[in-house]
């Protein structure tokens, strides 16, 4: 019985402390859903936080506050609020918090993606851009992209001759990784000042998934309508905040030129050299379009397709 009293007492005092911290910091935060003691809003995220946060933003606004454990977090979910974060207040919002998993992956945050904004990060980015991603350097690596795409096409030819399904997600990831490894290591892969708004160390989360599916910008955003981008003034280079595949601001992906060159070369070959069909016994309605959650949102069930040789293969 005494142990039960101790547990109840701990929960009670933790609740008081959480309530005190909430009252202390909430005055400068945008609206958000009620929080539970200790866990905050973690229980509302589910297995797909990007969708959960989009649904919450429809109720509490495109700029809302959440609390993940003891971490105060502001979530931006519209082009206007994302522009404020990535452009207007870019200098105040471009750093990175300490994350244990990120530190393990990046030699204690010494990489370009997870390193806090500092002189070290600026020097690393400058060196990366000058050595890898200027227009001249991207052009000089053309032979690497072409060799890797040729190898990919040869694999597809073999699969087509045997009518074998191909896991495109896996093979395209390998293609991208091989190009990056050869370019970087020479080996293959086997605005204004932001003050007195949020407490220090508040995380700001830009929900790019929600921004790029904003129904006020994109008609039927979940539908596959590629022609929506034809004669559309919205560009992907980080200046239009309705479409941000490479991010924007100081933290924008420096490899945008290399990425687009590889995508164009690969996609052209996939469409020009092959026809594609689903495996036997599978119809278009059977394709699972559900995504999984992570740094990116890949298909939960990888797409399997059978390449078909054509006269141009």
The full length of the chain comes to: 313
> SS3 of 217, please?
coil
User: Which parts of 103-150 are beta strand (E)?
Assistant: none
Q: Where are the alpha helices (DSSP H) in the chain?
A: 2-25, 49-60, 79-83, 90-93, 100-105, 119-128, 135-140, 142-162, 168-185, 208-211, 256-273
- Taking the C-alpha atoms of residue 279 and residue 283, their distance in angstroms, rounded to an integer, is 8
Are 208 and 78 spatial neighbours (Cβ–Cβ below 8 Å)? no
Positions of E strands within 80-195: 166-167
Known binding residues for heme? 253
Span between the terminal Cα atoms of the chain, in Å: 76
Q: In what order do the strands lie in the sheet with 166-167?
A: 166-167, 304-309, 274-277
CB 54 within 8 A of CB 207: yes
Q: What is the 3 state secondary structure string of 20-82?
A: HHHHHHHHHCCCCCCCECCCECHHHCCCCHHHHHHHHHHHHCCEEEEEECCEEEEEECCHHHH
CA distance 239 to 233: 11
Cβ atoms within 10 A of the Cβ of 64, count?
A: 23
Q: Which residues sit in the known binding site?
A: 253
């Amino acid at each position: 019985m005494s142990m039960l009293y101790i547990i109840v007492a701990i929960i009670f005092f933790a609740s008081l402390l959480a309530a005190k911290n909430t009252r202390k910091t909430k005055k400068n935060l945008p609206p958000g859903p009620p929080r539970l003691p200790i866990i905050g809003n973690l229980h509302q995220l589910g297995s797909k936080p990007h969708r959960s946060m989009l649904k919450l933003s429809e109720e509490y606004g495109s700029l809302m506050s959440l609390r993940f454990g003891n971490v105060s977090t502001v979530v931006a979910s519209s082009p206007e609020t994302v522009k404020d974060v990535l452009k207007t207040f870019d200098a105040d919002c471009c750093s990175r918090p300490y994350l244990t998993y990120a530190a393990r992956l990046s030699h204690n945050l010494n990489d370009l993606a997870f390193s806090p904004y500092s002189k070290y990060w600026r020097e690393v980015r400058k060196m990366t851009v000058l050595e890898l991603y200027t227009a001249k350097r991207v052009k000089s690596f053309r032979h690497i992209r072409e060799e890797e795409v040729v190898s990919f096409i040869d694999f597809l030819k073999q699969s087509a001759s045997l009518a074998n399904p191909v896991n495109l997600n896996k093979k395209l990831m390998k293609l991208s990784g091989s190009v990056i490894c050869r370019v970087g290591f020479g080996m293959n892969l086997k605005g204004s000042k932001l003050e007195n708004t949020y407490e220090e160390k508040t995380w700001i989360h830009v929900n790019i998934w929600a921004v790029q599916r904003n129904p006020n910008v994109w008609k039927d955003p979940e539908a596959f309508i590629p022609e929506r981008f034809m004669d559309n003034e919205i560009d992907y280079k980080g200046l239009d905040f309705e479409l941000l595949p490479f991010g924007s601001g100081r933290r924008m992906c420096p490899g945008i030129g290399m990425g687009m060159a590889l995508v164009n070369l690969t996609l052209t070959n996939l469409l020009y050299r092959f026809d594609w069909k689903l495996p036997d016994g599978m119809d278009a309605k059977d394709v699972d379009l559900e995504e999984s959650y992570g740094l990116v949102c890949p298909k939960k069930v990888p797409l399997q397709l059978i390449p078909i040789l054509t006269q141009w293969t």
